[in-house]
Amino acid sequence: MSDMPARRRWWTRWWPQSLLGRLSLVMVAGLLVTQVAGSAIWATQLRARADADARSAAQYLGQGAASSIRFFRSLPPSYRSLLIQQLREMGGTRFFVNLNRAYVPVPPIAPNALADTALATVDATLRKDLQHDQFRLAFAWPERLAVSPDGVHLGELPENWVRHILLPKPDPAPILVIQTELEPGNWLYMATLMPNPYFLSNNDPLSSDRLVLQGLSLAAVLLLSILVVRTITRPLAALSDAAEAFGKDEHTPALPVTGSREFVNTARAFAAMRDRIARYIEDRERLFISISHDLRTPITRLKLRAELLDDESLRNEFEEDLDELDMMVKGALQCVKDSDIHENPTDIRLDSLIKRLVRSAELAGHSVAFDGTSVVVRGKPLALKRAIGNLLDNALFYGERAEISVREVDGWVEIAVRDHGPGVPDDAFPSLFEPYVRLAHGRERNDGGMGLGLGIARGVIESHGGKLLLANHPDGGLNSVIRLPA
């Protein structure tokens, strides 16, 4: 169980985060696995067929060699040289034949399973047909092959002796050499080619030309696959950018209604949704403006009538209810007004923006510590100033003095506003962003507030693609951290 988190971290580290990367990785991995599995199956079948062909060809060759050995054994020793000379003058037979006084050492080719199978089959065939003879078998390359004990090589022989039997050039093939002792001191030397001279290279599934061909085909398929995946994911990226810009209240051009049928339907649905949300926001603004206009007059009229009441206790109750109603109306209007700030995003120098807030707080008699910064973010200046201002006001109201710091961390800009108050109970954090929620010590120090500042600040920060994090500072007080994209 302890290895699971480590494996999960390894997996997430190498797993791409973008759809293009994930689809490309899956397609590349699928193609590679398919190519490797197909090549393995094909190589297995090719090796099996090559092994069967080599056994059949070697058996046929062994039977021919056994017949030739029996024929030369039946001739008188004095006739053998004459017959070999006649065969050479006539162009030879299937075998290049030579008579030697001793065994000729043959430098074998590199170990090869197919060549070993052929040698074993030839040896078994010869032993079956010639039961009492001993044989020396080997495959050799023409340029290193000696044909006599005195060191005469194949390349030193007349061309007409070997050109119809062996392939010394231009593309040499491995030569099968069979040597057997006819009588003491008389060795028969036979050299020939397999029926398929290039049986070792033609049946190699990992030959360079085949690997190059498979590599080119795989590269072409992968390139086309990646292009197709990119074509599919590009509209999704445009849709994501449009949704993000709309969430930040930025005006972006309409999505192109082109491409696949699914994307066209999605683009149309997104455009319709964006229009409906825009109309809803406009209707909400008009509604609250109407509420502001319609409720102020009757509230004022009720306050005037309450002044005419003779019963003082009843008059005070009416005035308290009307003040509470007036506060709720003003709070709702302030919430809408502070959240819907229509301005274009621009580059904001946090140093100058925060210093203006600090200067205003100091003129009001508060103590704010700020060391300055050179960080620049992109956003809406008035909205961001209102969000930071709300956090600073809370810190000064409930914590006596405040500290503001700015730093860049892992692609984020963090603006921390810390107060030196009593902090917030752990069970109260989930409700801090709800409207009209105020803690006990907040009501004591700021009885004119309405508990809307944190909710407004969070809405503004989230519209900038950021987060508002609240936590008690280890040294006391509440630490409010704004995280904005760098």
Domain ranges of the chain: 45-202, 261-337, 343-485
Give Cβ neighbours of residue 12 (< 8 Å, ≥ 6 apart). Answer: none
- Burial classification of residue 280, based on how many CB atoms lie within 10 Å of its CB (0-12 exposed, 13-18 middle, 19 or more buried): exposed
Q: Cα dihedral angle (303, 304, 310, 312), rounded to 10 degrees?
A: 30
Tokens matching residue 181: 């002792």
To which residue do tokens 């409207």 refer? 435
What digits encode the pLDDT tens for the residues 328-379? Answer: 666 566 555 555 555 678 888 988 888 888 888 888 888 888 888 888 888 8
Contact 177, 189 (CB under 8 A): yes
Nearest to 420 by CA among 442, 398, 388: 398
The structure tokens listed for 387 are: 């969000």
pLDDT of residue 1: 46
Q: What are phi and psi of 188, to 5 degrees?
A: -95, 125
Rg of the chain's alpha carbons, rounded to an integer?
Answer: 47
Report the DSSP beta bridge partners of residue 187: 100, 181
Q: Is 314 helix (H, G, I), strand (E, B) or coil?
A: helix
How far apart CA 209 and CA 326 sit, in angstroms, is 87
Dihedral of CA 249/276/338/343: which sign?
Answer: positive
The pair of structure tokens assigned to 37 is: 């599995």
Of 387, 399, 385, 388, which Cα lies nearest the Cα of 446?
399
Closest by Cα among 255, 256, 257 to 242: 255
DSSP-assigned letter for residue 153: B
Task: Tell which CATH architecture fits domain 343-485.
Answer: 2-Layer Sandwich (3.30)
Within 13 A of 486's CA, how many CA atoms are on the CB side? 11
Rounded CA separation 103/147 (Å): 10
CA quadruple 110, 111, 114, 115: dihedral, nearest 10: 60
The contacts of residue 31 (CB under 8 Å, 6+ apart) are: 218, 221, 222, 225
- Do residues 140 and 106 touch, judged by C-beta distance below 8 A? yes
**Residue given tokens 């683009």 in the structure block:** 267
pLDDT in tens, 247-293: 666 666 677 777 777 777 888 888 888 888 878 777 776 776 666 66
Token readout for 472 is 């008690």
Please give the class, per CATH, of domain 261-337. mainly alpha
Look at residue 411 in the predicted model and tell me its pLDDT. 84
Cα dihedral 432, 437, 440, 445 in deg (nearest 10): 100
**What is the arrangement of strands in the sheet containing 186-192, beginning at the earlier edge strand?**
96-100, 186-192, 175-183, 135-140
Distance between start and end Cα atoms, the chain: 38
What is the token pair recorded at 336?
A: 């809408």
Residue 80's closest CA among 206, 232, 190? 190
Shared fold status for 261-337 and 343-485: no
Residues ≥6 apart with Cβ < 8 Å to 474:
none
User: What are the angstrom distances between the C-alpha of 381 and each of 222, 374, 389?
Assistant: 47, 16, 12
The answer to whether residues 435 and 455 touch, using CB atoms and an 8 Å cutoff, is yes
Distance separating alpha carbons of residues 304 and 323, to the nearest angstrom: 13
Global pTM?
0.47
Which stretches of the chain drop beneath a pLDDT of 70?
1-13, 19, 91-92, 202-207, 247-253, 285, 288-294, 296, 324, 327-343, 435-452
How many Å apart are CA 103 and CA 149, to the nearest integer? 7
Instruction: Give pLDDT tens digits for 46-88.
Output: 888 888 988 999 999 999 999 999 999 888 988 888 888 888 8
The rounded distance, in Å, linking the Cα atoms of 192 and 158 is 16
b/e for 163-199, b at 16 or more Cβ within 10 A? eebbbbeeebbbbbbbbbbbeeebbbbbbbbbeebeb
Q: What is the reported pLDDT for 399?
A: 75
